[in-house]
Structure 1
Amino acid sequence: MKIAMLGSLGNINRIVVPKLVQAGHDVTVISTSPKRQASIEAVGAHAAIGTMTDVDFLSTTFTGKDVVYLMLSDNIGDDPFKGAVAQAKIWKQALENASVTNIVNLSSIGADADEVAGSLHAYNLIEHELRKLDGVNLAFVRPTGFYANLFGNLATIKTEHKIYSSTPGNSAQKYVAPEDIASVAYPLINNTPDVITVKCAFSDTFTGNQFVADLRDVLNMPDLQWVQISDEQYLANLTNHGVPTKIAASLVQTSRYQREPKGLYADLNASDTIAGQVKLADFIRTFAIAYNSEGGYQSHTIAD
């Protein structure tokens, strides 16, 4: 099959793309960076350099493809909801122009909810727009929060021996590794089911207190603490670090929503999703490496 993949060689595509190539598929990887062309071609794929906001570029790239894999980058402007809708409309137009019939979209947990989900509502808006396509097979992959989001705590662990969060330390949250998202996405790309499919992905479930307890041992840091902060403190921290007001407010609302796991994981629990292979103990080892490294571990890891 001929397949087009958004997401360059990010942490999911670096796993999925080589597998698709090895399976004999003709894969085109879309990247905004010309510097990525050589590495894309090195894994046996074709590189298409352009932006996902260019409907003509996407239409040309999608033409003749049996399957298109869509994913949202972090760069959707200062208004996450307006930006998400605008991007979804561009994708929809390009898919229609290219007469694509099989589509896999990397969405998110919480995409089944309205504005109560905060920033995650952007994925609800994208799914809503894509569902307007006629005569297509459409698969949504909804991962939980990335393990890698926890790398955002490296600085305060090093300087204060503390992890600050507006989520209580005893609240059980589900996390996922790129490998386990890839294991859900790959079969959907390889053989997209008829009509509309929703698949969730997660690796393990644990509380902040469990995370801290394991880190204390591996980092030899017995005084490490999980410190719950207020929504107001979280909002101030985001805006003080230059996060646009609307995005900051939506992230705070997402944090509130995460404190209600029953709602957040409703579709995941309803589908009896099986946990993946990468467990907390595995990530703790990776986190320890990140803690002792000079950099390279970031919380934004979906695409590059």
Structure 2
Amino acid sequence: MKIIVTGSLGNISKPLTEILVAQGHIVTVVSSDVKKQAVIKEIGAIPAIGSISDTAFLTNTFKGADAVYTMIPLSFTEPDLGNYLRRIAQNYAEALKEADIKRVVLLSGWAANLVRGENIEDIFDCLNTSVTIMRPGSFYTNFYQSMDLIKGNGFMGKFLTLRYSGLWALLTGKTGLLMGNYGGDDRIVFVSPKDIADAVAEELLLHPENTTIRYVGSEEMTCNDAAKVIGAAVGKPWLKWVLLSDKEMLKGLKMAKVPEKLAETLVEMQAVMHSGKTLENFHRYQPKMGKVKLVDFAKEFAESYYKSN
């Protein structure tokens, strides 16, 4: 099969490309970075260098393909995340329609359909084709964004550790924490990008008549249990995951100079996870869990953690 993979050589797209190439498919990888051409070729795929904001480029790249995997990389520089997601999704939809693609696998998220303005899935309803929507849980790789908090480094890390751990942190020197307006004993489905890649590779070879939805997860646990796994891997077995109010989370994001509308969207996403609605939907579909557990990822995380000291 001729398969197009968007997302360059990201956490999902790289292992996905490797899987598809190993299966003998002709794979084209879309990337905006010309420097990635050599690596894409080394993997055994064909580079297509251009922007997903360019509908004409996407259309020309998609033509003749049997299946396309579409994803939209999150951008924290966009002031309005919802508008950005829908704009790129519309580009994809127009290009897929013009190129007459018969099989599409779309990366969404397990909270996307529950957050105002973030749901892009309906944009693909106009396609007269076979579409599968992937709804993965919370990525293991999101922990990288909290590395400074875990270390207790920098002004924000030290301020928040003292703010929420107080005298205990001062007396013991045991700094670092995780936090969000979901956390504590909230139960969350975490997922490895490698398990998402495996699931996408399976779906690309199928051709359901109607639009289908597939949830993807690797392991379900409370946020505090996840904090213990990550903490144990980096020599901080006391690590905990503090549950903030929506108001506190929004204030923290603004302190970090996140654009206001983007901050509001991020808070809403986490609030939905705290509500349990995402977990309820996940269980309704009863998906099989992937192979990569958090303790496996924690080993990789620890390597990066210590290297960045």
TM over 0.5: yes
2:59–2:98 CA contact under 8 A, matched in 1:
yes
Deviations 1:251-272 (A, max 9, x none): 11112111112x1133321111
Alignment counterpart, residue 265 of structure 2, candidates 245, 250, 258: 250
Where 2:114 maps in the other structure, the secondary structure is: coil
Alignment counterpart, residue 124 of structure 2, candidates 130, 135, 144: 130
**CA 1:105 to 1:215, structure 2 compared with 1: closer, same or farther past 3 Å?**
closer
Deviates more, 1:171-180 or 1:213-222: 213-222
C-alpha displacement of 1:154: 1.7
CA distance in 2, matches of 1:247, 1:131: 26
Match of 1:279 in 2: 293
2:149–2:177 CA contact under 8 A, matched in 1:
yes
1:110–1:265 CA contact under 8 A, matched in 2:
no
How do 1:63-78 and structure 2 match up within 5 A? 63-75=63-75, 77-78=78-79
C-alpha displacement of 1:286: 2.5
CA distance in 1, matches of 2:231, 2:280: 32
Over the residues paired in the alignment, what is the CA RMSD in angstroms?
A: 1.9
1:20–1:190 CA contact under 8 A, matched in 2:
no
Instruction: Normalising by structure 2, report the TM-score.
Output: 0.86
Match of 1:219 in 2: 234
Higher relative contact order, structure no. (Cα contacts within 8 Å, ≥ 6 residues apart): 1
Deviations 1:148-203 (A, max 9, x none): 11222221222232223222411111100011111210011123333211111000
1:3–1:68 CA contact under 8 A, matched in 2:
yes
Identical columns (%): 31
Letter in 1 for 2:34: P
Where 1:69 maps in the other structure, the secondary structure is: strand
Match of 1:188 in 2: 203
CA distance in 2, matches of 1:111, 1:158: 30
Letter in 2 for 1:278: V
**CA 1:236 to 1:101, structure 2 compared with 1: closer, same or farther past 3 Å?**
same
C-alpha displacement of 1:294: 2.1
2:132–2:213 CA contact under 8 A, matched in 1:
yes
**CA 1:166 to 1:112, structure 2 compared with 1: closer, same or farther past 3 Å?**
closer
2:181–2:270 CA contact under 8 A, matched in 1:
yes
CA distance in 2, matches of 1:89, 1:137: 17
Alignment counterpart, residue 201 of structure 1, candidates 200, 212, 216: 216
CA distance in 2, matches of 1:215, 1:2: 39
**Structure 1 residue runs of 4+, over 6 Å off?**
none
Give 5+ residue unaligned stretches, structure 2.
Answer: 153-174
Instruction: Normalising by structure 1, report the TM-score.
Output: 0.88
Give 5+ residue unaligned stretches, structure 1.
Answer: 116-120, 296-304
CA distance in 2, matches of 1:180, 1:243: 30
Deviations 1:285-304 (A, max 9, x none): 22322321228xxxxxxxxx
Alignment counterpart, residue 151 of structure 1, candidates 144, 149, 168: 144
Letter in 2 for 1:68: V
Letter in 2 for 1:264: T
Alignment length, in residue pairs?
286
CA distance in 2, matches of 1:85, 1:252: 19
Deviates more, 1:89-98 or 1:229-238: 229-238
Match of 1:294 in 2: 308
